[in-house]
Amino acid sequence: MLEYDLTSLEGYPAWFRWYGENGEDNLIENEAAPQSEFLPAVFEAVVGATSSIYYTAAVRTNGLETYAFLVEAWTDAPDPPDPTEPTTVYNCACDDDYPRTTLKQMRSRIATRLGFATQVAMGALPPGMAELLDDFIRNAQEMLYRRYPVFRLERFYAWKMQPGVRFYDFSGNEDACQKHMDPRMVTWVGVSQGDLCWRPLICGIDPVMYGSPGPGIPSHYEVRQCIEVWPAPVDATWVLRIKGHFGLLPLDSEGDETTIDPEAIFLQALANAKAHYGQPDAGNYAAQATAYVRSLIAGSHHTRRYIPGSAMPPPAVRPVLKED
């Protein structure tokens, strides 16, 4: 701890002191006449280092004087981090910025295209129509989600494993996000210990393996009514990690928002609604929905495409034309 005496004349320090490790006072008098102004005014030292530090004092009549003294600094550092505790974040924010619309907005848009713009403006659709359109919207989203992988987004889910515990509930994962994992849409399963040790798990637990009980590092998993790992973890340092698609969010209340691309839902639901009401342009919207989904699929390939004439990284081989 360093302390200045700022009560001397003209603001120059008459002395400064620091306290040693055993609590004794160490005092250096400013004996210059007139008193010196120590520069710089802030003490700087490297934590954990002990060395001579020189300061220059500006004296009005005698020019410059140099003072040398020893300063020792230390700090109470916190405990080092546990290497088995992960510090890396593997998911983006739960409330991602993706295109979406509410059920009420989607219903009003479809009703307008069906020719009920006046009723939409008045807020009074024909009896039963709102429920019918809501069902078309939910059905379109469910069908698109199940049929086309482009509409399915992924997250990492984590379960802190307990010694001797083999079964883990789907809802027991540590992710506070409301986007729950779809057990039928799992893309990677493994265990991790901290950020550096990751091990994939093999899908399927042969019943024969139950004949050799005993804790250890899990090597297999199986998804049934819950998630089972084998063998049971030997300690609590391992984390079960599953990368998979999250299912559709509820779409029941007017304020609920769509989970997948709203334009694809709109075109598909509108085509079904127009077919239901016998409107002749239902096929046009069905074709638009198909074309729109195809464009999304093409864009989802990212750089995993071959463009003729472009450079190809190894080990890819450029196609060779075959002469007839």
Domain boundary among 72, 92, 112: 72
Is the distance from CB of 159 to CB of 171 less than 8 angstroms?
A: no
Give the angle subtended at the CA of 17 by the CAs of 34 and 66, to the nearest 5°. Answer: 50
The number of angstroms, rounded, from the C-alpha of 276 to the middle of its chain's C-alpha atoms is: 42
Q: Which of 58-67, 174-183, 204-213, 250-259 has the lowest mean pLDDT?
A: 58-67
Q: How far apart are the C-alpha atoms of 195 and 216, rounded to whole Å? A: 20
163 and 145 share one domain:
no
130 and 262 share one domain:
yes
* Residue 97 belongs to a domain: no
In the structure, what pLDDT confidence band is assigned to residue 160 with cuts at 50, 70 and 90? Answer: very high
279 and 141 share one domain:
yes
Burial of 319 (0-12, 13-18, 19+ CB in 10 A): exposed
Please name which of 41, 50, 49 lies closest in space to residue 69, comparing C-alpha atoms. 50
119 and 145 share one domain:
yes
pLDDT digits (tens, 9 = 90+) for 98-138: 789 999 999 999 999 999 999 999 999 999 999 999 999 99
In the structure, what pLDDT confidence band is assigned to residue 5 with cuts at 50, 70 and 90? Answer: very low
Q: How far apart are the C-alpha atoms of 190 and 144, rounded to whole Å? A: 29
Type of residue numbered 118: T
Token pair belonging to 184: 């039928």
Q: How many structural domains comprise the chain?
A: 3
Judge whether residue 63 has pLDDT over 70: no
Q: How far apart are the first and last CA of the chain?
A: 89
pLDDT digits (tens, 9 = 90+) for 236-280: 999 999 999 888 889 999 999 999 999 999 999 999 999 999 999
pLDDT digits (tens, 9 = 90+) for 68-99: 444 443 444 556 666 666 678 888 877 777 78
* Mean pLDDT to the nearest integer, 316-320: 65
pLDDT digits (tens, 9 = 90+) for 204-231: 999 999 888 778 999 999 998 899 999 9
In the structure, what pLDDT confidence band is assigned to residue 40 with cuts at 50, 70 and 90? Answer: very low
* Residue 308 belongs to a domain: no
Q: How far apart are the C-alpha atoms of 91 and 161, rounded to whole Å? A: 20
224 and 185 share one domain:
yes
User: Which residue(s) pair with 19 in the sheet?
Assistant: 25
pLDDT of residue 4: 42
Beta strand pairing status for 2-4 and 63-72? unpaired
Is the distance from CB of 93 to CB of 175 less than 8 angstroms?
A: no
pLDDT of residue 59: 43
168 and 234 share one domain:
yes
* SS3 state of residue 136: helix
127 and 8 share one domain:
no
140 and 264 share one domain:
yes
Helix (H), strand (E) at residue 263: helix 262-276
Token pair belonging to 204: 């399927």
237 and 167 share one domain:
yes
The number of angstroms, rounded, from the C-alpha of 223 to the middle of its chain's C-alpha atoms is: 24
* Residue 7 belongs to a domain: yes
* Residue 272 belongs to a domain: yes
Judge whether residue 24 has pLDDT over 90: no
Token pair belonging to 231: 């063998």
Say what the alpha-carbon torsion angle 109, 112, 118, 124 is, to the nearest 10 degrees.
-60
217 and 295 share one domain:
no
* Residue 314 belongs to a domain: no
pTM, rounded to two decimals: 0.61
270 and 128 share one domain:
yes
Judge whether residue 291 has pLDDT over 70: yes
* Residue 95 belongs to a domain: no
Type of residue numbered 137: I
* Residue 38 belongs to a domain: yes
* Residue 241 belongs to a domain: yes
Q: Which of 26-30, 195-199, 295-299 has the lowest mean pLDDT?
A: 26-30
Which range of residues forms the domain containing residue 219? 153-246
195 and 259 share one domain:
no
HSE-up (13 A, CA, CB side) for residue 274: 21
